[in-house]
Copies of this chain bind each other. A is one copy, B any other.
Amino acid sequence: MSAQDPAALRPWRVLGRKPLFALPPRLSVALEAVALPDGRVVEDYVQIEMPSYAMIYAETAERRVLCLRQYKHGPRRVSLTLPAGHVEPQEDAQQAAERELLEETGYAAPEWRKLGSFSNAGNQGCGLCHVFAAYGARPVQPAQPGDLEEMRLELLSRRALRAALAAGDIAIIGSAVAASLGLADVARRRKRTA
């Protein structure tokens, strides 16, 4: 809009922060006073903190993707999902990814790649979604998810996962982005080795 506007694309400055509501560990809400690059001040920009989580696109050596089918209360339906879970306070994101893959599926993997980190809301924040790919996954122990949801492990071909995504079988944005980035990563790997 304003290639000639030198104020464009500079970060906002946070002038102050007023906590409004907290329900640990699920969320906290605050109003921030922010100064925009053009000089305007917004006194009550809503910021929401939520726990960050790891999402895992994991393949076996046979190129099967480890998926879970479960009822999820957010979308209020049964959804195909990828293994995922919150990053605990003592962990980094990859440690959380490795732990959640093991707990939810019983699989471990020798090769890990970070595929990206994304804010869950462009304006309010709402925590980060950290996406990992894991290759060469194999079963090493029984799954022990310990979650409220009953989960069924499904090993999908890449083609079946792509079809599930296009068909609306994945109801949650984190699983959708991890499935997409994982499929893009394996396409890049295939090109490099071709």
Contact = CB atoms under 8 A, between A and B. Distances in A.
A9 B79 CA distance: 9
A8 interface: yes
Contacts of A152: 1-3, 8-9
A73 to B, nearest CB: 6
B1 A172 contact: no
Nearest to A175: B122
Contacts of A21: 21, 23, 29
B74 A122 contact: yes
A129 B119 CA distance: 14
A156 to B, nearest CB: 16
Given A21-B21, A176-B177, A184-B166, A150 B73 contact: no
Number of identical protomers: 2
Interface residues of A, number: 77
A108 interface: no
Q: Which of A74, A77, A78, A121 has the most CB of B within 10 A?
A: A121
Interface string A93-135: 0000000000000000000000011111111111001000000
Contacts of A175: 122
A72 interface: yes
Contacts of A118: 75, 170-173, 176
A69 B84 CA distance: 30
Given A11-B71, A118-B173, A119-B172, 11 more contacts: A2-B152, A8-B150, A9-B71, A10-B71, A37-B150, A38-B150, A72-B122, A118-B170, A118-B172, A173-B174, A180-B180
